[in-house]
Copies of this chain bind each other. A is one copy, B any other.
Amino acid sequence: MSTSFATSKRRTNPDFLNGVPELVVLELLSQRPMYGYELVQAIKEASGETLEFGEGCIYPLLHKLAERGDLSSRRIDVGGRSRVVYRVTTKGHKQKAQSQAQWSQVVSSVGRILQGGKYEHAKTA
């Protein structure tokens, strides 16, 4: 009908191929509030050294999430050192649930595609 453009270029895709750090941060912080430095190591440990997001990745991410309202932050002092402790807000929990759902979708979709290869041996070459 209208001036063509039936090719809906809109973004239905999970832009979640990168956002793994975000999901992990939201999850770990929802398990227990932490400060940045702690979180960096918690990710490393909880993933069995598989995931190693540096501080240069985590700190900006925390700031972004806090600014977006998914995290609240509170500065405390412990032995002369100052820490910024982050906690997941209600909004953050919703966001987390959404991110998690998208991640699951991607994982299962990719999984199905990869599985597909296993039974494809009958393809006569």
Contact = CB atoms under 8 A, between A and B. Distances in A.
Interface of A: 9, 12-14, 17-18, 20-21, 23-24, 27-28, 30-32, 46-54, 100, 103, 105-107, 109-114, 116-117, 120, 123
Contacts of A110: 20, 23-24, 47, 51, 103
A109 B31 contact: no
Contact of A116 (B46, B50, B100, B105): B46
A112 B27 contact: no
**For the complex formed by this chain, how many copies does it contain in all?**
2
B114 A27 contact: yes
5 contacts: A17-B18, A46-B113, A47-B110, A47-B112, A107-B107
A113 B17 contact: no
Contact of A117 (B18, B31, B51, B105): B31
Contacts of A50: 14, 105-106, 109
B14 A17 contact: no
A60 to B, nearest CB: 16
A38 to B, nearest CB: 15
